[in-house]
Chain A
Amino acid sequence: MRTDGDSRIAVRTDKLNFWYGDFQALFDVDFDVKAGIVTSLIGPSGCGKSTLLRCVNRINERIGNVRTEGKVEVLGHDIYAPEVDLTQVRSQVGMVFQRPNPLPISIRKNILFAHGLHTQEKTSKSDEEAIVESALKEVLLWDDVKDRLDRVATGLSLEQQQKLCIARLLPVKPAVLLMDEPCSALDPKATTAVEELIWKLRGQYTILIVTHNMAQARRASDECAFMLLGKMVEHRRTEDLFLTPDNQKTADYIEGRYG
C-alpha cells in the first residue's frame, strides 16, 4: 500500500488496464504525475495517451461498454472507489479538449457555468463579477473580452475560445488540469499563446497534456512520458527523454522513425 500523504504526486495510476468493448487500450500502466508541474504525454496515434488522460476524470465512462481495472489516484484518493462522486471528481480534475468547446452562451455564463454547478447558495452579482474577472485575468483574456462579456462565446477566435475553456475550469479550483491536444486546432501564433498560458499556470495547477507535437512537448513540459500500443514506455524529465532516451522505441519515435 502506498502512502496517501505523498503530496508531491498529484495523479498516480497503478496497474491501470482499460478496455473499449473487447479492445484493450491500456496495459498495466503505472504512471506518477508530480504536483505543480507540466507533464506531457506523447506517442503515435492510438497509443492510448488520450485514453489514459480520460481515465483521470473518468469521462471515458460516458461511452458505454468500457471496463477499467487497476487504480487511479488523484491527490492520494482512489477515484474509482465506490463512494466517489463523479461530479466531485470532475470539479477537481478539469479537462480541456482538442477543439475549443465553449458553450453557446455568453462569455460570462461560460465562466460561471461550473461554479454554478458546484455551488449551492446563490452567488451575489458582485461576487460573480469578481469570479469572472479573476478567471479571465488568470488566462490573460480579460483585456480582450472585458467589454463584451455578454456576447456569445462561440463568436471568439479559436485562441480566445481555448483560453476561455481553460478559464471556465478555474473558478471551482481544480487541482489537476487535463489537456487533450489543446493546440491542435490552433494556428502557430495561437499555439504559442496557449503554451505560454500553460507555462504560466504551472505551479498553481498540476497539468497533464497530451500532444502530437514533439516540439511542443519539448518546449512546454517539465516531464514527458512516451506511450506505445497502450503501454507506458518511458517517463522522465523532458530534457532527458529527448536527449538521452533509455528505450530504443522512444529514440525511434522522437527521431520520427514512426508515428
Chain B
Amino acid sequence: MTARFAATELNLSNYRTERRYRLMLFSMTAMLVLPVLIILAILILKGAPMISWEFLFEFPRRGMTEGGIYPALLGTIFIVVVDLIFAMPIGVAAAIYLSEYAPDNWLTRAINLAIINLAGVPSIVHALFGVGAFVIFFGFGTSILAAALTVAIMTLPLVIVATRESLQAVPQAFREACWSMGASRWQTIFTVVLPNAISGILTGLILEVSRTAGETAPIMFTGAAFFLPFLPESVFDQTMALSLHLFVVSTQVPEVPEALPYGVALVLIGIVLIMNAISIVFRSYLRGKKKW
C-alpha cells in the first residue's frame, strides 16, 4: 500500500497556490525594501566623500557653496531638545490618562480619533498654525521656541499612540492583581504598568525625535533661517536647521557642488538611523529585563 500517503491532486494544487502567494508576498516585500537600499546606497556613494571634521564643525562659506554645516546641525539638535521638553511630558501623560483613567465613552473615543487625525494633518497646515499661534499670538517671533512647539504639536500623536499601545500591551491581569489588593490607579501605574511599558514608550519618543529632525515645512516659517552667520544664543533666536539647509542647497542656491546636498542628506539620515539604532538597543535591553 505505497499510495496511501502519497499526495493527491488536491494536495498538489494547494501547494502550487501556496507557492504563488508566497512569491507574491515576497516580491511586495522586496519592492518595499529595494528603494530604501537604493536611496541609502546613492547617499553613501555620493555623500560620503563630503563628510569630514570640517564639514560637520564649520560654518558654510561663499554663499553656502563651500564650508560646513555646523550651525544647521546644531540648530536641528536645539529644535529636537526643546521639542522633547514639551512633547515628552505632554504626550506621555496624556497617553497614560487616556489609557488608564479615561472612561470608555464617546468623548474618549472622539479624543482618540482626533489624535489619529491630527497625525494625518499635512505638515504645512501645522506650519501655518505655528505661525499664527506661536510666532504671532504668543509673540515668540520666528524662533527656536516657536519652531520646536510647532513640531511638538505635530509629532505629539506619535508619542501618544506609541505610549498608549505599550501601556495596553501590559497584561490586564497585573492591573487586576494590584486593584484586588487595594492599590489605587496611580500606585498600579507607577509600580507595575509603567515599568513594563517603558521600552515601548522610549521607542515612541525616539521615533518622534527622528521625525522632528527631518521635518522641514513646519519649521521654515516658524524659526528656521535660510542662512545665519552666527549661532543662536537663546530659544528666542532663529536658527539654521539641517532639513531646511538641505532644501536650500539643493534648490535655492546657485553653483553648489553636486556632492554637498548629498553630504547634508547623509548627515540627516545618519542622525535618524543612529536614533533608531539607539531605540532598538534600548528596547532589547529592557525586553531582556521583563519576564512574563
A64 at the interface (CB under 8 A from B): yes
A59 at the interface (CB under 8 A from B): yes
With A104-B291, A154-B292, A155-B291 in contact, do A91 and B177 touch (Cβ < 8 Å)? no
With A104-B290, A104-B292, A154-B292 in contact, do A97 and B104 touch (Cβ < 8 Å)? no
Chain A residues, Cβ within 8 Å of B173:
97, 99, 101
Asked whether, in the complex, the Cβ of A97 is within 8 Å of the Cβ of B187, the reply is no
6 A-B pairs within 8 Å (CB atoms) are namely A97-B173, A101-B171, A101-B176, A105-B191, A118-B182, A154-B291
B200 → chain A closest CB, angstroms:
15
Asked whether, in the complex, the Cβ of B180 is within 8 Å of the Cβ of A104, the reply is no
B residues neighboring A (CB under 8 Å): 103-104, 171, 173-174, 176-184, 187, 191-192, 195-196, 290-292
Chain B residues, Cβ within 8 Å of A165:
177
B187 → chain A closest CB, angstroms:
6
A48 at the interface (CB under 8 A from B): no
State A155–B195 Cα separation when bound (angstroms). Answer: 17
State A28–B99 Cα separation when bound (angstroms). Answer: 35
Binary flags per residue of A70-97, CB closer than 8 Å to B gives 1, else 0:
0000000000000000111111001101
A86 (CB) vs chain B CBs: closest residue: B182
Residue among A62, A64, A114 making CB contact with B181, cutoff 8 Å: A114
A56 → chain B closest CB, angstroms:
11
Q: How large is the interface on A (under 10, 10 to 19, 20 to 34, 35 or more residues)?
A: 20 to 34
In residues 47-80 of chain A, which contact B (Cβ within 8 Å)?
57, 59, 62, 64
Binary flags per residue of A131-152, CB closer than 8 Å to B gives 1, else 0:
0000000000000000000001
B218 → chain A closest CB, angstroms:
38
Asked whether, in the complex, the Cβ of A62 is within 8 Å of the Cβ of B192, the reply is no
Determine chain B's interface SS by DSSP, over half rule.
helix
Chain B residues, Cβ within 8 Å of A169:
181
Binary flags per residue of A164-179, CB closer than 8 Å to B gives 1, else 0:
0100110010000000
Residue among B104, B178, B184 making CB contact with A103, cutoff 8 Å: B178
B292 → chain A closest CB, angstroms:
5
A27 at the interface (CB under 8 A from B): no
State A57–B184 Cα separation when bound (angstroms). Answer: 14
A92 → chain B closest CB, angstroms:
9
A102 at the interface (CB under 8 A from B): yes
State A118–B178 Cα separation when bound (angstroms). Answer: 12
State A89–B180 Cα separation when bound (angstroms). Answer: 9
State A95–B192 Cα separation when bound (angstroms). Answer: 18
Asked whether, in the complex, the Cβ of B187 is within 8 Å of the Cβ of A59, the reply is no
Chain A residues, Cβ within 8 Å of B104:
64
B173 (CB) vs chain A CBs: closest residue: A101
With A117-B187, A155-B291 in contact, do A104 and B182 touch (Cβ < 8 Å)? no
